[in-house]
Structure 1
Amino acid sequence: MAEDENEDIQERLKAALWFAIGKMVDEESMRRNRNATPQFIGALTEMVWAQIGQSCALNIPEENVAIDLESFSKHAGRTTVTTDDVLLLARRNQDLHGIIKEFVDEQKAAKVTKGKGRA
């Protein structure tokens, strides 16, 4: 029974990852006036999923990413992982950190702009 629950959770996580990646790809495609096929989004999702799951290949236990994110969140006194935790996790890979930081900053700016439009 626990194995079925674990598979269900993994399926839901992968679906959430697919949705998030699809949203990012769509936004970037619109910005650059390009098209991305669902197959591309699916392949990108599979690659990201494999990278998350294959952290053992880098001699990092699989659970470390999740444990680190949870630890960062708890240390900050939160029960929810935020983008700050993800940025902290990516701190040792400057290129990845830069890409994530740029995306987060764009999302925050868009949210502020959208909020001002309603006021």
Structure 2
Amino acid sequence: AESEAGGSFALWPPARPVARRRGGKIRLGLPGRRLFLSSRACQDPLALKSHSAIMESAEGIRRLKAAVHYTVGHLCEEVASDKEMQFSKQTIAAISEVTFQQCENFARDLEMFARHAKRSTINTEDVKLLARRSNSLLKYITEKNEDIAQFNLERKAKKKKKLEDENKNSVEPAEAGVVESEN
């Protein structure tokens, strides 16, 4: 639409994702969300496809934000009852928004760590790298990782023993049948 000064203006937020070129990067924008892609990433059809899928799923993002807000609300209620204090709706909304943004940053960082290692899968080493600045969190993640590794080893050992027992039992009756036929 044309403004009175003769310039054009765009409605914000746009109804659909908008792509603008800015200094060698393409900026994809949705209401409250900006995503910058390098020109090189834009040449990769898979990168564009995944980013456009993210941008097109505004409903999914809205639902995820609602779930984070719901969880933060319940956590704030628990803290409020324990500490005998109250949180305003604005405070809960602010905590929810910061939490959601931090999760987005974590996801982006994890993706970059895996990509830097030339992997397409995020693993526990990436998560440890993300948590490296918080000693207590790093210690907790390391302990949980070791617990899971120990559990997996025990499960593998049980499975291996079970297979060996089954193989041993299936071999013994076959040998007994051979002995009977020789008599």
TM range (shorter): 0.5 to 0.7
Residue 68 of structure 1 aligns with which residue? 109
Alpha-carbon RMSD across the aligned residues, in angstroms, is 3.2
What is the CA distance between 1:65 and its match in structure 2?
1.3
Figure out how many residues of one structure are paired with residues of the other and give that number: 82
What is the CA distance between 1:5 and its match in structure 2?
3.4
Q: Measured at CA, do residues 78 and 52 of structure 1 come closer, stay the same or move farther in structure 2, by a change above 3 Å?
A: farther
Q: Distance in 1 between matches of 2:61 and 2:99?
A: 16
Mark the runs of 5 or more structure 2 residues left unpaired by the alignment.
1-55, 77-94, 161-183
Aligned mate of 1:3, from 44, 51, 58: 58
For residue 132 of structure 2, give the secondary structure of its aligned residue in structure 1: coil
Deviations 1:6-65 (A, max 9, x none): 335x27x96xxx9xxxxxxxxxxxxxxxxxxxxxxx749xxxx9474253xxxxxx6321
Aligned mate of 1:114, from 155, 175, 178: 155
Runs of 4 or more, structure 1, over 6 Å off, are none
What is the CA distance between 1:73 and its match in structure 2?
0.7
Q: Distance in 2 between matches of 1:92 and 1:102?
A: 16
Residue 144 of structure 2 aligns with which residue? 103
Structure whose residues are more often helix by fraction: 1
Q: Distance in 2 between matches of 1:107 and 1:116?
A: 14
Structure whose residues are more often strand by fraction: 2
TM-score, normalised to structure 1, is 0.55
Q: Higher relative CO (CA 8 A, sep ≥ 6), structure 1 or 2?
A: 1
Mark the runs of 5 or more structure 1 residues left unpaired by the alignment.
19-41, 56-61
